[in-house]
């Protein structure tokens, strides 16, 4: 299999690898309207903070295409509605709002243009978001590779690879880079209950790339860390507060706590578009709660009894004290995080 094209916009259609179906089947999900994109993000056809942002940007392009024959006033009203709907498709990853805001700015700054010209500008901005993401990931991977030692054993959580981004990946991008640069690394990938992004998606990417790895149940990680079997932990992020508190896939906090206990370096790998400069601490981050079926069922098969109640937060917040450094495309941010994050603004 060649390059993984998580997202592709061609001839007015957005094509997404259907991540709900991997690894058992490789299917492409077609979005022809912005509401298709809204569905794809909500239902996690496409997921991972940077991938959601890029998909939403093309959702705005699709909306403009749908409304291009409207009177201008009606066009802008309908676009506003589309932007609002897309921005609410998932609540935690700030990359979504960041991408929508970039698209919004293009509309606001070009209201005097004809709608065809405005459409072209929106398409161009979505393409910019798309290509910048790949560049950003490659830069992060280079910075990240500096902290990976020869023979390093790396633990990672959820899926932060090409599937979670436009290409290459964040934490998994660093792992790719270390592997390509000839380091003899070994990866432990957590399965990442309840949706199993580690077992289904990260394991799939690791196998595609031929990176030496083992899949583990989430509950194995603490023992490996305690027994000195892990040299470094690399995770992604969905939203980073000014003080460095980081929202990421549920289970990340627990890993960080054990890592701190046993002095294992714990790095977050994320583009600066994942930093929310409007919030001081992780307390302000909205944590998405998803459907009970994600916990009571596996692959559509019920594993828990009828009648049991479920609590299913999709993310948790890792306190900044547990984080060794945040690897961005502008370099590695180290404590004091607030001071050093503000320098990036
Ligand atoms: C580049 S990936 C960073 C995060 O988005 C990733 O770790 C994660 O938590 C994804 O969650 P998901 O619910 O699968 O969208």
Ligand 1, residues 249, 250, 315: which to mutate, most atoms within 8 A of Cβ? Answer: 249
Q: What is the structure's pLDDT at 1?
A: 54
Atom of ligand 1 nearest to the CA of 165: 1
Here the ipTM equals: 0.98
Q: What is the structure's pLDDT at 4?
A: 85
| Strand residue runs (E) in 66-164 | 153-156
Q: β-pairing, 7-10 with 13-17?
A: antiparallel
Please tell me the distance from the alpha carbon of residue 247 to that of residue 286, in angstroms, as a whole number: 9
Tell me if 215 sits within 8 A of 207, measured CB to CB.
no
Helix crossing, 115-145 with 49-66: angle to 10°?
Answer: 170
Residue 196 has phi, psi (to 5 degrees) of 65, 40
Q: β-pairing, 325-328 with 266-269?
A: parallel
Atom of ligand 1 nearest to the CA of 157: 7
| Residue 239 alpha carbon to ligand 1 centre in Å | 10
Give CA separation, 78 vs 42, 126, 202, 282, in Å. 20, 19, 38, 34
| Atom 1, ligand 1: residue with shortest CA distance | 160
Q: What is the structure's pLDDT at 2?
A: 64
Ligand 1, residues 7, 41, 47, 275: which to mutate, most atoms within 8 A of Cβ? Answer: 47
Q: What is the structure's pLDDT at 3?
A: 79
Give CA separation, 132 vs 119, 139, 165, 166, 271, in Å. 20, 10, 11, 9, 10
Residue 332 has phi, psi (to 5 degrees) of -95, 120
Question: Which value, in Å, is the radius of gyration of the alpha carbons in the chain?
Answer: 20
Q: Answer yes or no: is the C-beta of 48 below 6 A from any ligand 1 atom.
A: yes
Q: How far is CA 115 from the centre of its chain?
A: 32
Atom of ligand 1 nearest to the CA of 49: 5
90 annotated ligand-binding residue: yes
Low-confidence ranges of the chain (pLDDT < 50): none
Instruction: Give tens-digit pLDDT for 90-126.
Output: 999 999 999 999 999 999 999 999 999 999 999 999 9
Q: What is the structure's pLDDT at 63?
A: 98
Active site residue ranges:
238
Residue 100 has phi, psi (to 5 degrees) of -60, -40
Q: What is the structure's pLDDT at 345?
A: 83
Q: Domains, the chain, ranges and CATH?
A: 7-137 (1.20.120.420), 139-342 (3.40.50.10470)
């Amino acid at each position: 299999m060649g390059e993984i094209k998580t997202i592709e916009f061609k001839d007015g259609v957005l094509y997404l690898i259907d991540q709900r179906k991997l690894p058992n089947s490789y299917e492409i999900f077609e979005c022809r309207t912005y509401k298709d994109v809204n569905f794809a993000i909500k239902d996690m056809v496409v997921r991972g903070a940077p991938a959601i942002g890029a998909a939403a940007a093309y959702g705005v392009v699709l909306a403009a295409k749908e409304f291009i024959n409207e009177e201008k006033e009606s066009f802008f009203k309908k676009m506003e509605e589309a932007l609002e709907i897309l921005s609410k498709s998932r609540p935690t990853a700030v990359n979504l709002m960041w991408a929508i805001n970039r698209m919004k700015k293009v509309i606001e700054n070009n209201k005097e243009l004809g709608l065809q010209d405005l459409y072209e500008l929106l398409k161009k901005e979505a393409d910019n978001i798309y290509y910048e993401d790949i560049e950003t990931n490659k830069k992060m991977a280079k910075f990240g590779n500096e902290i990976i030692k020869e023979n390093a054993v790396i633990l990672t959580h959820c899926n932060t690879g090409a599937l979670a981004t436009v290409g290459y990946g964040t934490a998994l991008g660093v792992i790719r880079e270390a592997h390509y640069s000839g380091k003899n690394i070994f990866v432990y990938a957590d399965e990442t209950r309840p949706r199993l992004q580690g077992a289904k998606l990260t394991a799939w990417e690791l196998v595609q790339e031929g990176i030496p790895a083992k899949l583990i149940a989430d509950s194995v990680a603490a023992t490996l860390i305690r027994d000195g079997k892990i040299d470094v932990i690399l995770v992604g992020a969905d939203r980073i507060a000014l003080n460095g508190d980081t929202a990421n896939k549920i289970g990340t906090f627990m890993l960080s706590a054990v890592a701190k206990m046993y002095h294992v370096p714990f790095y977050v790998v994320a583009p600066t578009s994942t930093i929310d400069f409007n919030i001081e601490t992780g307390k302000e981050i909205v944590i998405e709660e998803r459907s009970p079926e994600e916990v009571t069922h596996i692959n559509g098969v019920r594993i828990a009894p009828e009648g049991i109640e479920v609590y299913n937060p999709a993310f948790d917040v890792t306190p900044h004290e547990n984080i060794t450094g945040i690897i961005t495309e502008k370099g590695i941010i180290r404590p004091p995080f607030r001071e050093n994050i503000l320098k990036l603004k």
